[in-house]
Structure 1
Amino acid sequence: MCRHIAVLGPQEPIGASLADPPHSLVRQSWAPRRQRHGTVNADGFGVGWYAEGDPVPARYRRAGPVWADLSFADIARVVRTGALLAAVRDATAADADGEAAAAPFTAGPWLFSHNGAVAGWPDTAAPLAALLPPEALLRLAARCDSALVWALVEHRLRGGDAPGGALADTVAELAEAAPGSRLNLLLTDGTSIAATAWGDTLWYLAVPGGRTAVASEPYDDDPRWTEVPDRTLLTATRTGVALSPLKEPCP
């Protein structure tokens, strides 16, 4: 369920990453090649990007399928950026949240997406929600599992945690509280990317010259795409990618 991508690199139109490649995120909304859960990602989409000199990203989100949005096609053609995060959504369960449930979620310089599902939602996650301060719960953009996952990550970021640590600790908590969850998380501040592979596919492409893409699946057949092993934390910049194992929850 869901497909997402983050890209760091030179300034280029959004569509160069999201629409132009033969197996782009737009195509993955109806014809993903490696999606293990669900088949069509038509329950909303979004893209966040950074303008040069401004650390706070802009967002464009809609509740419907990306292929039906002609305004997005224009934006993708003319808006240029050196960093973005985008996602197409296949909802875990029916909801009335509309575009509020579509990634990317955001706060300050951050853009975030969750590809997966919290098992047993919402009952299994209730104890974790109770650990958040009231203001964090009041900031929830939607009632879906991904919005709560973002609240847990955001709470750690606001507390000073590094991006990779915030994702890793959140995954550990959720995996213990809700065994069987799929927790592929993706986070960027426009200068770095952090991501987790936990229960679904994750790939990265590092191109000489300062371009790095991290995605649920490759958007083309470039042989340099590398699959990230399950239970792995990825951290990346424009010049390098690092992988480290994630801790399994205690039995």
Structure 2
Amino acid sequence: MNEPTLDLNTTKGLNQRSRTLKTQAIILRSFDDGEADRTVIILTPEVGKLKARVRGARKINSRLGGHTDLLNLTNLNVGLGNHLNVVTAADSLNSFVNLKSNLERLAIAIYLAELMNALIPEGVPHRSIFWLLLNALEELNKNKDPLIISRYLELKALEETGYKQELYRCVLCNTNIQPNQHSYVPSFGGVVCSECTVNPSELCTLSLNSLKVLRHFDRNRLSDALSIHLDNHIEYEIEKILEQSIIWILEKQSKARKFVTHLQNLRKNTAGLIS
């Protein structure tokens, strides 16, 4: 659920006298700034999303550069200014080296970070989103199923940012959904019963087993979600449904997700040729 915009002056972890924020942070985005600096977009438990400059980060002898790499979990000191926030100290806690060594897992992690960046505005605390993303990165780093991690995080992130998908009752008439008598409408944010009329072009196919998987994700932790196996049909259905829902909400298609799909298709095609 969306929370009120944060007053940085009253935030736990903020040194009132010097206006320095001391926090754990995940580096959501990182891009070059000037000749030697780097600008990062970070996700924190206390203040949500924040943009900050890392001065001299691209210099060979920088004390901050390696600690503020993309996707790192890092302890940061951030000097807060009216127009510019500056990272003054950084100590990396987890660089997720294992997931970064695999192109597909790295692409998925970048996509998930991009999604969090797109869903939440700057300066709005989203503690649950921070822990969701951190948990996902940790499981990806352990070589757990990247498809389940992606779908789980998409569904939960939508819920935590005010776009909870309705999986139990018809979004039009509010009746309980009966087995095998339903479809999914991304623009309506959930399932529709067979009695309600909807433009066929807006419908997404949703089998009973796929609906059960989504409900399992909705009710459980990521560790529980990772205990199940998705066959190709279920995998395709829930991927399509969540992809279309996110496109509807953000009004654009994710380039990072398109790249993930490209890599996954390439892997499947290569496996088919080998077999």
More strand by share: 1
TM-score range, shorter chain: 0.3 to 0.5
Q: TM-score, normalised by structure 1?
A: 0.35
Larger gyration radius, structure 1 or structure 2: 2
Q: TM-score, normalised by structure 2?
A: 0.32
Q: Relative CO higher for 1 or 2, CA cutoff 8 Å, sep ≥ 6?
A: 1
More helix by share: 2
